[in-house]
Structure 1
Amino acid sequence: MDAAQTSGTSDFLAFPPQVRARLIRVGALSRNAADQEVLRGLTVEESEFLAGWHDTGLRGRRDDEFRRFYALWRKHEEARLQEASPT
């Protein structure tokens, strides 16, 4: 296991059990390893946001709908991080 995997696992295990359970449900929807790695690196607030969307809006929907939502959310997050970082 490389350092990134170890860090992701440690971060994941640091979440409360209910957040881990939600992340597992959300992450299971993505078959893309890169998406799953990003999901493991989410903050508690980010994971709750995605898990809440999953709980309320995704049941019975297809993976491509989740990927579209996730892509929009990720684009928003990348823009937010760029604005927050000094250039």
Structure 2
Amino acid sequence: MEIRSTLRATPYQPGDDVQVYVSETDPDSEHHRKEGNITDVLQDTLGDKTGRELDSHSYRIETNGEEIDVWFRHRDLVPVSQ
């Protein structure tokens, strides 16, 4: 299954349903494949440095009624089909 092909081209908004998609070597790999919804959005200046606007967005997600204490970058999340 090629899940990366579903990487969203626009920033997520609070309430959007997502799935965490990180490699097994990522420090937050324990959250890989967890599904939840966006609860908070943070913008910084990383996109100015990389030239990719979406790199400036980080997100908190809630899964199973609890917020995960990690800020995920846009590239770490994929949309969940409804």
Same-fold call, TM > 0.5? no
With the length of structure 2 as denominator, give the TM-score of the two structures.
0.22
Of the two, which has the highest radius of gyration? 1
Structure having greater relative contact order (Cα 8 Å, sep ≥ 6): 2
